[in-house]
Amino acid sequence: MLILDIALLSGFVPEPQSLKILKGALLVNRVEHKDGHVLVYLEGVMKDIPVNHHLVLLQQVLVHNLKPAVITLYDYYQPSERAEKEYTAI
């Protein structure tokens, strides 16, 4: 099992319908929204077959000098095996 940990940008929240759609997406076991993160529990990945998921974030509070947030993908059983990527609002 893999966990996709999406730290939310300051002042942003996930759009509720987007979370609902993500919960039913391919390879997704469970989705949680708590403490400024969206946690997506994945059954795994398929080698050489790209899978795209979509999450819409809504800005609730205007934040000046917005800093990037981090998305982390890691193995549930071996959290030291991880990949991280920063993202920002467009």
62 CB contacts (<8 Å, ≥6 apart)? 11
Which amino acid is located at 7 in the chain?
A
At 75 the pLDDT is 93
Q: What is the DSSP letter of 1?
A: -
85, 49 contact by CB (below 8 A): no
Q: Among 71, 58, 61, 69, which Cα is nearest to 15's? A: 58
Give tens-digit pLDDT for 5-29.
Answer: 999 999 999 999 999 999 999 899 9
Assigned CATH class of 2-87: mainly beta
pTM: 0.90
Q: Among 59, 60, 3, 12, which Cα is nearest to 36's? A: 12
